[in-house]
Amino acid sequence: MRRPAPPRREVVRLFIKEGGTVIDSSPMYGEAERVTGDLLADLGLQSKVFLATKVWTSGRESGIRQMSDSMRLLRAKKIDLMQVHNLSDTATQLRTLHEWKGAGKIRYIGITHYTASALDDLAEWIKRDPEIAFVQFPYSIAVLDAERRFLPFCADKGVATLVNRPYENGGLFRAVRGMKVPEWAREFGAATWGQFFLKYILSTLGVTCVIPATRKPKHLLDNMDAGRGPPAVRRRAAKNACALAESLAKRKNECDKKSGGGIHGCAPQKLDPLEIHSLKRAAQLERLGRVG
Ligand SMILES: NC(=O)c1ccc[n+]([C@@H]2O[C@H](COP(=O)([O-])OP(=O)(O)OC[C@H]3O[C@@H](n4cnc5c(N)ncnc54)[C@H](OP(=O)(O)O)[C@@H]3O)[C@@H](O)[C@H]2O)c1
């Protein structure tokens, strides 16, 4: 067996030690399934994990081949959750997933997408197929679309939710580079930006699980800490969304001035997603009368 790089081994070991359970993969993610399977076997931790992966292809035979490969690479006799990745050939793959569930090869059926514009399509599939037990989609402090209708819809249907891209693929960290975590965030136990971003998601009604990606043990521990702490996070964070929006807007103005003067390293355009959405969010909260 090829031995995977030590930091990845440590990430998986610490993840389980700290109480993590769900590992999400896909044939789309290069060597991820093989590395996950090898590491879990090497660490003797297969039984501790809820394994989720995906089928990402067109056609029945191709889907069956791919899922069989996934089981071999992940070294699993049964996959806990098999998801149709990015709604690829959904009708065909769902038919096979029903058969595989009946045969005991998978425990649950899911569907995923990586864009908020697909939320309505995901909802349509959930309405059409009562066997869909999990749905995976993007949601973050910068991409709030899911909280309007989709998360309440999933809660109503009893469909479990997996939140992907919680850090906008790392973009949120670039947006707050050089900024301190607000003092008030410490009141609900968010000592770092990572914990702040994850706690915001985790305290939303309807969120079952959030799946940040990391290669670093230090970041893994940071992310796991976001799962701890008091439950009143969201109300507090929402109440202070205005303060965050103001500080981001101020920073952007400073960056604009500096970049006009030829100072590098400020990259004002990188602040845009968080700033715009935080401002939108703050305005929305003010309209709802939830900000004091
Ligand atoms: N269509 C789909 O089904 C779909 C699409 C996209 C994603 N996903 C799933 O969602 C998962 C997460 O999404 P994502 O990979 O797009 O990105 P993400 O989790 O939003 O962001 C990952 C980035 O954040 C950094 N990071 C993680 N924890 C950190 C911390 N505590 N402090 C600072 N930086 C940190 C990582 O760098 P380091 O490695 O340096 O920590 C990496 O660059 C994927 O692994 C996948 O399972 C599914």
SS (H, E, C) the chain: CCCCCHHHHHHHHHHHHCCCCEEECCCCCCCHHHHHHHHHHHHCCHHHCEEEEEECCCCHHHHHHHHHHHHHHHCCCCEEEEEEHHHCCHHHHHHHHHHHHHCCCEEEEEEECCCHHHHHHHHHHHHHCCCEEEEEEECECCECHHHCCHHHHHHHHCCEEEEECCCHHHHHHHHCCCCCCCHHHHHHCCCCHHHHHHHHHHCCCCCCEECCCCCCHHHHHHHHHCCCCCCCHHHHHHHCHHHHHHHHHHHHHHHHHHHHCCCCCCCHHHHHHHHHHHHHHHHHHHHCCCCC
What lies within 8 Å, CB to CB, of 56 at 6+ separation is: 26, 27, 28, 66, 85, 86, 88
Rounded Cα–Cα distance for residues 54 and 27 (Å): 7
pLDDT of residue 260: 43
pTM of the full predicted structure? 0.84
Residue 184 has a pLDDT of 78
**Burial annotation 260-274 (CB, 10 A radius, 16+ → b, else e):** eeeeeebebebbebb
Question: Crossing angle, helix 32-43 and helix 60-74, to 10 degrees?
Answer: 30
215 close to ligand 1 (CB < 6 Angstrom): yes
- pLDDT tens digits for the chain (292 residues)? 666 668 999 999 999 999 999 999 999 999 999 999 999 999 999 999 999 999 999 999 999 999 999 999 999 999 999 999 999 999 999 999 999 999 999 999 999 999 999 999 999 999 999 999 999 999 998 899 999 999 999 999 999 999 999 999 999 999 899 989 888 788 778 899 999 999 889 888 899 999 999 999 999 999 999 998 765 455 555 555 555 655 555 655 565 565 543 222 223 333 334 444 454 554 444 444 333 2
Ligand 1 atom 43: the closest Cα is on which residue?
170
State the pairing for strand pair 132-138/22-24.
Answer: unpaired
The confidence score (pLDDT) of residue 249 equals: 56
Distance 123 CA to ligand 1 centre (A): 24
State the pLDDT at residue 197: 92
pLDDT value for 185: 81
Q: 168 C-alpha to center of ligand 1: Å?
A: 7
Ligand 1: atom nearest CA of 213 is 19
CA geometry: angle at 264 spanning 259 and 269, to 5°?
55
Lookup: tokens for 141: 């402090």
* 32 CA → ligand 1 middle, Å: 13
Query: What domains can you pick out in the chain, each with its CATH number?
Result: 7-232 (3.20.20.100), 237-287 (no CATH)
What is the Å distance from ligand 1's center to 219 Cα? 11
Half-sphere exposure of 132 (CA within 13 A, CB side): 26
Going from the Cα of 53 to the center of ligand 1, the distance in angstroms, rounded, reads 16
Query: Does residue 165 have its Cβ closer than 6 Å to ligand 1?
Result: yes
Give the pLDDT confidence score for residue 268 in this predicted structure.
30
User: Is residue 218 in contact with ligand 1, taking CB distance under 6 Å?
Assistant: no
33 lines ligand 1 (CB under 6 A): no
Ligand 1: distance of its center to the CA of 220 in Å? Answer: 11
Alpha-carbon dihedral 151, 154, 160, 164, rounded to 10 degrees:
-40
Residue linked to tokens 């500096």? 258
What residues form DSSP beta bridges with 140? 143
Mutate to test the pocket of ligand 1, among 35, 36, 169, 225 (most ligand atoms within 8 A of CB): 169
Please give the pLDDT value at position 4: 60
Task: Give the contacts of 247 (CB within 8 A, at least 6 positions apart).
Answer: 179, 182
Which is the closest atom of ligand 1 to the Cα of 85? 3
